[in-house]
Amino acid sequence: MAVYCEICGSEIKREIHLIRVNSSELRVCKSCAKYGEVKKVLEKNQLAHSAARSPASSPQISPSDDKKTTKIYEQMLQDLNEEEDEDFGRRVKEARERKGWKQEELAQKIHEKQSIIRKIETGDIIPTKELREKLQRVLNI
Ligand SMILES: [Zn+2]
Which structural domains are found in the chain, ordered by start?
3-48 (no CATH), 88-139 (1.10.260.40)
- Rounded to an integer, the average pLDDT of 45-66 is 53
Give CA–CA dist 37/56, Å, rounded.
30
User: Do residues 80 and 74 touch, judged by C-beta distance below 8 A?
Assistant: no
User: Do residues 114 and 86 touch, judged by C-beta distance below 8 A?
Assistant: no
Per-residue model confidence (pLDDT) at position 44:
79
Give CA–CA dist 117/99, Å, rounded.
15
Q: What is the CA(52)–ligand 1 centre distance, in A? A: 24
Q: What is the CA(5)–ligand 1 centre distance, in A? A: 5
Per-residue model confidence (pLDDT) at position 9:
95
Query: What are 83-107's pLDDT values in tens digits?
Result: 556 689 999 999 999 999 999 999 9
Q: What is the CA(61)–ligand 1 centre distance, in A? A: 34
pLDDT at 137 over 80: yes
Q: What is the CA(42)–ligand 1 centre distance, in A? A: 15
Per-residue model confidence (pLDDT) at position 38:
94
